[in-house]
Amino acid sequence: MFEAGGYGVALTVAPARPSLPDAWGPAPEGVTRRPARLTDMLDVDGFDDAEIARELAAVAVGRAKLAAYEAALVAGLAARRPQQSDLTEDQPGHGVEGYLPDRAPAGVSEFFADELAVVAGISRAAATALTERSLVLRRELPATWAALADGLIDQPRANAIVKALGGQSEDAGGRVTPAVVAEVEAQALEWALAGETPVRLGERCAAALIAVDAAAADRRRRKAERCMDVQARATADGMGQLVADLPMPVAAACRDAVDGYARMLKADGDTRPIGQLRALVLQDLVLRPWDTSRQPVTAHLELIAPLPVLDTRSAGEGTRPTGGDVGPFTPPTDADTPTVDGAPITAGQLRGLLEQLDAMCPGGLQAPAGGSLGISLTAPRTGALRASVTRGELEQLVRRGCPQHGRPDPGAADCGCGVLDRPPPVDRYRPTPAQRRYVRARDRGCRHPGCRRPARWTEADHVHPYAEGGQTACENLCSLCRRHHRLKTHAPGWRFTMTEDGVLSVTTPSGVTRTTRPPGFRLPDELVLVPVGGPPPGPADDPPPF
């Protein structure tokens, strides 16, 4: 934080233990005491854009170190408030089981959160969450705490790792050995140091843990469901918030239903803001549940189906290990071997996929009543989207078969000719419906760094502007919400670039670059799990703590 133009000297003398200003004695006449400020030493007005960006990065590092220090303090105080001092079930005044969920961490007094709330000046709920995070960092994830204390990762990424891995090891009451948790933690730190966003980092950590313990997600869900609740919080100007803790699928369904009714009102000509309409719809649904005059709302179902690998050689060099073995592999190099990664999708693959869909439920998997069904076909090794089709298009392709060889006889080998790929470019400004569907299925939401708006609220934007020669092609289209579409088009100094496989890089006017990838897409080096103590990560576009 001191790499600025000019020179300055600051000297601070303080006792070994903190003391209150009153202990310093009265100030001399004409002297006013106040705490030192960083702006007294660092002239913010004299910084250019790059220096301000660098200082903000330094602030993030300092905030991470303070978070690690806070975790150590909270864990240290919690160790002095053991559970042994609490009342037992046979003593009058003990906690009523089933009324309030028991969220006290193991070995810590049920009243510790109340003490921490008073000391830190926060709510009891916030104090409980802070205690849980602090104890997980200090007891279960020491490597994550060390990275946070060193400023290598920021607090949001550390919290994502804690949320995904906390309470899973046998030492913490879970069912996974500490060695396995440590291995997943080491991989999570690799992702965090490489610049993975906090949300995606949490998702990848959870997926890695589920790969080791398939029942982990259900255990965590059942534990979290005990804390479901609905609360009302006052805000400003006589307004308030209604907050409900629900399972994510239920919360998403409720949000989509409210949004669907609000958009019906918009379509009927209501000029009020969409957010206000959503709030009024929710109010009506809760306070007037008997009203059956509302039109039903439905959903779009998107199925993500990894394609099988059609490598005709026996397992060995050039193939990925099967079963539970995870290790390095070499991509196939024989051009005559039919594969999926990088090759067209064949009629045989689609036929097998359709058979699997029909086996999922009676009558086959179909779109919800009044809704739609999309099928995203992804490459098995990289997770990259290869094509997006509807159920009807899939059935038509299977019936038609290969354009050159026709539909093979039952039991005959697949000819290997391609029948489906991503939609081709068009010589016009507006993308085709097939291109829009492909881009939305690939991106699944706004691709601007940190934005989580779902794909249905985004627009297909030309990364390289059409007016400047950019193609209307899937390789040059990305999903951006209205706000970030306007930012890219009208805000001066921003720069957007995208690779053919959909990796988007966004550079701010101050020169900071952030990179996002389509969900599910993996780089080749991510296909190898790095064991604990393995080689350090290579250089990333986004240095720590970003």
> Which has more pLDDT, 318 or 20?
20
Banded model confidence at residue 404, pLDDT cuts 50, 70, 90 = low
Instruction: State the Cα–Cα distance between residues 365 and 357, nearest whole angstrom.
Output: 6
Strand partners, 169: 176
| pLDDT reported for residue 321 | 34
Taking the C-alpha atoms of residue 66 and residue 57, their distance in angstroms, rounded to an integer, is 14
- Which of 125 and 496 is assigned the larger pLDDT? 496
Instruction: Identify whether the C-beta of residue 185 lies closer than 8 Å to the C-beta of residue 143.
Output: yes
Distances (CA, A) of 220 to 144, 163, 211, 311: 20, 10, 15, 38
Other C-beta atoms lying within 10 Å of the C-beta of residue 203 = 15
Cα–Cα distance for residue pair 130/449, rounded to 1 Å: 27
Q: What's the Cα-to-Cα distance from 258 to each of 85, 207, 354, rounded to whole Å?
A: 48, 30, 33
Please give the pLDDT value at position 524.
Answer: 56
Q: Per-residue pLDDT for 97 more than 50?
A: no
- Kindly state the tokens that stand for 212: 């080791």
Residue 224 has what pLDDT? Answer: 72
Q: What was the pLDDT predicted at 416?
A: 59
Give the CA radius of gyration of the chain: 28
Residue of 416 and 297 predicted with greater confidence: 297
Of 84-88, 289-293, 330-334, give the range with the top mean pLDDT.
289-293
Could you read off the pLDDT of 339-376 as tens digits, one per residue? 333 445 666 666 676 677 666 666 666 776 667 777 78
| 390 or 272, which is more confident | 272
Q: Which two tokens stand for residue 231?
A: 């609360």
> Which tokens sit at 74?
């909270």
Q: Which residue has the higher pLDDT, 252 or 89?
A: 252
- Which span out of 132-146, 194-208, 240-254, 346-360 was modeled with the highest average pLDDT? 132-146
User: Coil, strand or helix: which one is 257?
Assistant: helix
8 Å CB contact between 370 and 352: no
pLDDT of residue 363: 66
Residue 330: both structure tokens together:
């070499």
Token pair, residue 205, equals: 């950590």
Place of tokens 């205690």: 131
The residue to which tokens 């550390």 are assigned? 158
Q: What is the pLDDT of residue 18?
A: 52
Q: Are 220 and 165 in contact (CB under 8 A)?
A: no
Q: Look up residue 48 and give its amino acid.
A: D
Reading the block at residue 262, the tokens are 């609000």
pLDDT-derived band of residue 331, with 50, 70 and 90 as boundaries?
A: very low
Q: What is the mean pLDDT of residues 497-523?
A: 86
Average the pLDDT over each of 6-15, 215-224, 374-383 and give the range with the smallest value: 6-15
Is the model's pLDDT at 388 over the cut of 70?
yes
Q: Distance between CA 511 and CA 494 in Å, rounded? A: 9
Three-state SS at 1: coil
Task: Give the sign of the dihedral formed by CA 314, CA 317, CA 319, CA 320.
Answer: positive
pLDDT tens-digit map of 128-156:
889 999 999 999 999 999 999 999 999 99
What's the pLDDT at 452?
A: 80
Do the bridges between strand 300-306 and strand 372-378 make them parallel or antiparallel, or are there none, so unpaired? parallel
Q: Is the peptide bond before 545 cis (omega within 30 degrees of 0)?
A: yes
Asked if 365 and 303 count as a contact pair (C-beta separation under 8 A), the reply is yes
User: What is the percent of the chain with per-residue pLDDT over 90, rounded to a whole number?
Assistant: 24
Please tell me which residue, 209 or 266, carries the higher pLDDT value: 266
**Banded pLDDT at 192 (limits 50, 70, 90):** very high
The tokens for 158 are 């550390």
Which tops the pLDDT comparison, 260 or 248? 260
Burial of 189 (0-12, 13-18, 19+ CB in 10 A): buried
Residue from 196, 71, 45 nearest 546 by CA: 196
Question: Rounded to 5 degrees, what angle do the CA atoms 177, 180, 186 make?
Answer: 140
Report phi then psi at 373, rounded to 5. Answer: -130, 125
What average pLDDT does this structure show over 189-214? 83
The C-alpha atoms of residue 431 and residue 23 are separated, in whole angstroms, by: 71
Band of residue 210 on the pLDDT scale cut at 50, 70, 90: confident
